[in-house]
Amino acid sequence: MAAAIPQIDSVVQKRYMELVANFFKSAFDARNVGKKVVWMAYFLPSELCYTLDAVPFYPEIYGGVCARMGIVLKYIEAAESFGYPRELCSATKSAAGLALSGEAPPPDAVLSTQPVCDGGMKVHEFVAVRYKCPHFFIDMPYSTDARAVEYLKGELEEALKFLAESFGAELSEERLKEVMELSKRAEELHLEVNELRRKKPSPLLSIELFGQYFFPCSFLGGTQAAVDFYAFVAEEARRRLREGDVPEEKYRILWSPLVPQSFLSILQWLELEYKAKIVMEMVGYAPKIEMDAAEPLESLARKTLEARFPSLGNGPGVFNLDRYRKVVKDYDIDAVIYFAHWGCRTICSAVKMVKDMLREEFDIPMLVLDGDIFDPRNNPVEQARARVEEFFEMLE
Amino acid sequence: MIVAGVDIGSLTVKAVILRDNEVVATSTLITGDDAATAAKTAINEALKSLAERGMSVTLDSLDHIVATGVGRKEVTFAHEEKTDVRCDAVGARHIFPSVRTVVDIGAESCKVIRLSKKGRVEDFTANDKCASGTGMFLDVLAKVIGVGVEKLGELSLKAKKPAKISSMCTVFAESEVISYIHRKVPIENIIAGVHESIANRIFGMMNRVGVEKDIALVGGVARNVGVVKALEAKVGESILVPEGPQLIGALGAALIAAEACGTA
């Protein structure tokens, strides 16, 4: 299958691709430089690893990179051949397939949790069993209140101790604070980029980061690389605004919740040809989070609970709807495209609730695109284009 | 002012010619593997019937042509292309001005479109990845049962107890039908069961966009009275079916062409 990465002439995209390549290269190179690799569930905080000088490897995120490159199917099919059903989430299957293939950096430890879904939780257990490596389960609370933060703080502390013991490493409070200082800075700069994307017209395209503006602060949280990257993007956005070098914008779109990595041509077509600019992705939206490096674990608990998980369905649906309300207002959204990922009960269950709220409260239409975030077999491109054309014709 | 609308579906291509907003000729042909040629032939067929009535018009002399349907992008000689959703809405609304919900069941697609009181498209949904509930579904099952697809509707009205077709998948539904045949279940009951399964699927889609009265059923499958009755029973409302329901998309395209010329 041919490489599927839709590249555009963008310094931001080039820099992002370098960042992602280096991030995964560090996991593949880890053993050679004497570092430990931790397989992490989607959106568990990378800061845990960086505190111990270990390297996080997110198999579902790497599956997304493989989907972009058009090579994910062999991992999905490996999982299906092993016994995972065709209907199961392709992100889960790509993680299982990576473990089965032996082509991913082998884990020295596994950290898992129950959000985004129980399939994701189980696949990490499977990875730990397959590689016979220590596994720690972080019990994620279902809300974001003070009690939940306190509870998760304890869970993260235990996870850190578990990793330190597993690796025979020393846990340094000083190092944790340093990591959290960088984490806090990356979150602040991410918010700054999000703020710049609110401008009309918005200076950045979603396709420039393949819809993953959350990537650096989620998976490189606690590193200088994440800080430098957001600073670069913010500066480029300001330059574009200053010089009037802003991509044309006919419609302002909220894409929700995840951007399909095997289906990026639809984003490119939307933004470049249709001038329907995706000014925010629901999973990339985050409120301002109170973070204090002097209280590192509490800050990390707050970030973990408040940043990305609620947009993917952790916590009550009402909380999720409030985020939609805020994004629609803050970003002056014209329409929402909801990508109902095949095999995801959480995402698909919320469709009606979100669509009705948008229509009743904002009179904003929502297009539901049925498809698959990674598996190209479930993404008929022409049908999706037809649906999008019909949708925009409706807006005219 | 003479304009044309051409609807290139997955199975058939339909053309409608309008003169001063009146339908003066139509044609329906098998699409085949060359959508552009099929579209041209369909329009020429319709124009030929005009010539037989003493109206000499050529393809090149048409004032405006709008293409719609799955193959619309192939019709390079059309002046513009519009989506099926828009054309179905315009066509159905032209025939039934009170219509608020348009259901289009074609050979391989089914769509539900909700319209505002003024006829603006407010929401729509369509089948993706699955041909159940479409004309192709009926075609496959007609072959298994061994009757012509055009006879399915009338036969199903004789059913006393529709058979339960539980699978939404065309292939699995086919094996269910075969097992009913082996169990000597009356053929009309099997056909009625197939129609009910289509109605169930369409009803789910209708609820996804929200049903507003009046409801119109268009597309080739609307010619099957059994499907219409099954859907009416499921929805609990009567359903409007235009004459020549398969032509509604092409009619909508022609009306949009007329509007472009300032005559609609």
Chain A residues in contact with B120 by the CB 8 A cut-off are 394
User: A307 and A273 in contact (C-beta within 8 Å)?
Assistant: no
At A3, the pLDDT band (50, 70, 90 cuts) reads very low
User: B45 and B23 in contact (C-beta within 8 Å)?
Assistant: no
User: Which range (A61-75, A378-392, B144-158) has the least confidence?
Assistant: A378-392
Domain chopping of chain A, boundaries? 11-172
B195 touches chain A (CB under 8 A): no
Dihedral of alpha carbons B132, B138, B144, B145, sign: positive
Residues B59 and B92 in one domain: yes
Chain B residues in contact with A375 by the CB 8 A cut-off are none
Backbone phi, then psi, for B236, in 5-degree steps? 80, 20
At B121, the pLDDT band (50, 70, 90 cuts) reads very high
- Average pLDDT over chain A reads 93
Architecture of A11-172 per CATH? 3-Layer(aba) Sandwich (3.40)
What is the predicted pLDDT for the residue at B221? Answer: 94
Number of inter-chain CB pairs under 8 A, A vs B? 37
Q: How far is the C-alpha of A392 from the C-alpha of B44, rounded, in Å?
A: 32
Mind listing the pLDDT tens digit for each residue in A321-370? 999 999 999 999 999 999 999 888 888 888 999 999 999 999 999 999 98
Does residue A312 have a pLDDT over 80?
A: no
pTM: 0.86
At A4, the pLDDT band (50, 70, 90 cuts) reads very low
Q: How far is the C-alpha of A54 from the C-alpha of A46, rounded, in Å?
A: 9
Nearest to A256 by CA among A205, A328, A148: A328
Query: Does the beta-carbon distance from B128 to A368 stay under 8 Å?
Result: no
Nearest to A380 among B84, B85, B129 (CB): B129
Nearest to B103 by CA among B129, B134, B70, B130: B134
Does residue A7 have a pLDDT over 70?
A: no
C-beta atoms surrounding A103 within 10 Å: 13
HEC string for B73-136: HHCCCCCEECCHHHHHHHHHHHHCCCCCEEEEECCCCEEEEEECCCCCEEEEEECCCCCCCCHH
Residues B117 and B227 in one domain: yes
B125 touches chain A (CB under 8 A): yes
User: Total domain count for chain B?
Assistant: 2
Does residue A176 have a pLDDT over 90?
A: yes
Residues B229 and B259 in one domain: no
B128 touches chain A (CB under 8 A): yes
Widest pairwise Cα distance in chain A: 63
Interface of B with A in 45-84 (CB under 8 A): 70, 82-84
Residues B146 and B75 in one domain: no
Residues B89 and B139 in one domain: no
Query: Does the beta-carbon distance from B82 to A390 stay under 8 Å?
Result: no
Domain membership of residue B63 as a residue range: 1-96+244-264
Residues B102 and B169 in one domain: yes
Interface test with B, best of A341, A393, A396 (most B CBs within 10 A): A393
Both tokens of A373, joined, read 């975030």
Helix (H) / strand (E) containing A251: strand A251-256
Chain A nearest-CA distance from B40, in A, is: 22
At B217, the pLDDT band (50, 70, 90 cuts) reads very high
Mind listing the pLDDT tens digit for each residue in B52-95? 888 888 999 999 999 999 899 999 899 999 999 999 999 999 99
Bridge-partner residues for A340, per DSSP?
A370
Residues B171 and B257 in one domain: no
Residues B123 and B214 in one domain: yes
Mind listing the pLDDT tens digit for each residue in A122-143? 999 999 999 999 999 999 998 8
Provide the ipTM.
0.74
User: A155 and A138 in contact (C-beta within 8 Å)?
Assistant: yes
Nearest to A42 by CA among A387, A352, A338, A307: A307
Interface test with A, best of B66, B68, B120, B129 (most A CBs within 10 A): B129
Both tokens of A25, joined, read 């290269």
Residues B192 and B203 in one domain: yes
CB-neighbour burial class of residue A367 (10 A; exposed 0-12, middle 13-18, buried 19+): buried
Helix (H) / strand (E) containing B217: strand B215-218
Query: Does the beta-carbon distance from B82 to A383 stay under 8 Å?
Result: no
User: A14 and A34 in contact (C-beta within 8 Å)?
Assistant: no
Nearest to B249 by CA among B44, B33, B62, B16: B16
User: A109 and A167 in contact (C-beta within 8 Å)?
Assistant: yes
Compute the average pLDDT of residues B143-165: 91
Residues B86 and B101 in one domain: no
Q: How far is the C-alpha of B209 from the C-alpha of A309, rounded, in Å?
A: 29
At B158, the pLDDT band (50, 70, 90 cuts) reads very high
Q: How far is the C-alpha of A340 from the C-alpha of A248, rounded, in Å?
A: 27
Helix (H) / strand (E) containing A325: helix A317-330
Query: Does the beta-carbon distance from B85 to A380 stay under 8 Å?
Result: no
Contacts (Cβ under 8 Å, ≥6 apart) of B52? none
Backbone phi, then psi, for B8, in 5-degree steps? -95, 100
> Which residue is closest to A352 within chain B, CA to CA?
B208
Residues B105 and B234 in one domain: yes
Query: Does the beta-carbon distance from A390 to B123 stay under 8 Å?
Result: no
Mind listing the pLDDT tens digit for each residue in A95-114? 999 999 999 999 999 999 98
Residues B83 and B196 in one domain: no
CATH number at residue B106: 3.30.420.40
Compute the average pLDDT of residues A109-121: 90
At B263, the pLDDT band (50, 70, 90 cuts) reads low
Does residue A67 have a pLDDT over 50?
A: yes
B160 touches chain A (CB under 8 A): no
What is the predicted pLDDT for the residue at A129? Answer: 96
**What single DSSP character describes residue A31?**
G
